[in-house]
């Protein structure tokens, strides 16, 4: 194995190749190698030196807690070290993550707008088509405020019920996709990665509340207008 030392001089050592692997990138397959630390130090003429230590965790959610813990330990041992996560070290990951966040956010906003318009139109038309029933209720002595409250409450219950059913359908699809074990090979990867679908609790809650509010307001406005009509006009509505 021929390399350049830290001083720029050529250095070569005989090595035994134990295993070959695919890096996922043709440009690095003939340049990337895992070697023992002692061999790397000998090749680079850097005895007793190391500039980077990589720590692998079983649970990625413990990254920040582990970083804080290790920094405290290194500080107590009077070691001046800098610790960064792999996300912070990878500009490519940050750029791709930002691009996908923008794309998915844009798609989410479009879908949300279409759903809001559909819910608002459905609830509004439901009330308008029942204007004659509102006139009948008013003729039976029901107050305007009671009519508005009745239709608003009905719309709210229907919207909440629809959101709950949609939530269960989403969880069923999520469970089915994860159970199917779908896998793919992402760019710059040497092996397949299983497709895992997770759910964003904050967005689900936001959508749930927003749909409930939209469905309620969509029924409130036309119900209020219909209740203000004269009883004779409401009964003759076509």
CA 196/CA 60 separation, integer angstroms: 15
Whether the predicted pLDDT of 18 surpasses 80: yes
Same domain, 203 and 102: yes
Of 17-31, 113-127, 143-157, 191-205, the one with minimum mean pLDDT is 17-31
Q: Tell whether the torsion through CA atoms of 72, 78, 80 and 81 is positive or negative.
A: negative
Same domain, 186 and 77: no
CA 40/CA 110 separation, integer angstroms: 53
Same domain, 85 and 96: no
Q: Considering its fold, how many domains does the chain have in total?
A: 3
User: What would the pLDDT profile of 143-162 be if each residue is shown by its tens digit?
Assistant: 888 888 888 888 888 888 98
CA 131/CA 137 separation, integer angstroms: 10
Whether the predicted pLDDT of 106 surpasses 90: yes
User: What would the pLDDT profile of 34-67 be if each residue is shown by its tens digit?
Assistant: 888 888 888 888 888 877 888 888 888 888 889 8
> Taking the CB of residue 207, how many other CB atoms lie within 10 A of it?
19
User: What confidence score (pLDDT) does residue 238 get?
Assistant: 61
CA 102/CA 94 separation, integer angstroms: 12
Whether the model pTM is above 0.95: no
């Amino acid at each position: 194995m021929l390399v350049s030392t830290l001083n720029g001089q050529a250095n070569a050592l005989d090595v035994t190749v134990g295993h070959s692997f695919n890096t996922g990138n043709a440009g690095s397959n003939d340049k990337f190698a895992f070697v023992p630390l002692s061999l790397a130090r000998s090749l680079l003429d850097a005895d007793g030196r190391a500039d980077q230590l990589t720590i692998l965790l079983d649970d990625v959610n413990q990254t920040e807690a582990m970083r804080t813990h290790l920094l405290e330990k290194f500080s107590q041992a009077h070691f001046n070290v800098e610790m960064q996560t792999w996300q912070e070290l990878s500009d490519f990951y940050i750029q791709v993550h930002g691009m996908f966040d923008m794309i998915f956010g844009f798609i989410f906003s479009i879908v949300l707008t279409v759903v809001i318009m559909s819910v608002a139109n459905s609830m509004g038309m439901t009330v308008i088509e029942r204007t004659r029933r509102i006139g009948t209720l008013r003729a039976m002595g029901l107050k305007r405020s009671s009519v508005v409250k009745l239709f608003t409450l009905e719309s709210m219950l229907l919207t909440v019920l629809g959101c709950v059913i949609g939530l269960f359908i989403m969880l069923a699809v999520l469970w089915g996709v994860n159970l199917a074990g779908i896998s793919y090979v992402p760019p710059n990867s040497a092996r397949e990665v299983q497709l895992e679908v997770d759910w964003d609790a904050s967005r689900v809650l936001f959508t749930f509340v927003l749909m409930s509010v939209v469905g309620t307001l969509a029924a409130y406005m036309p119900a209020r207008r219909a209740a203000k009509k004269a009883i004779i006009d409401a009964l003759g509505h076509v």
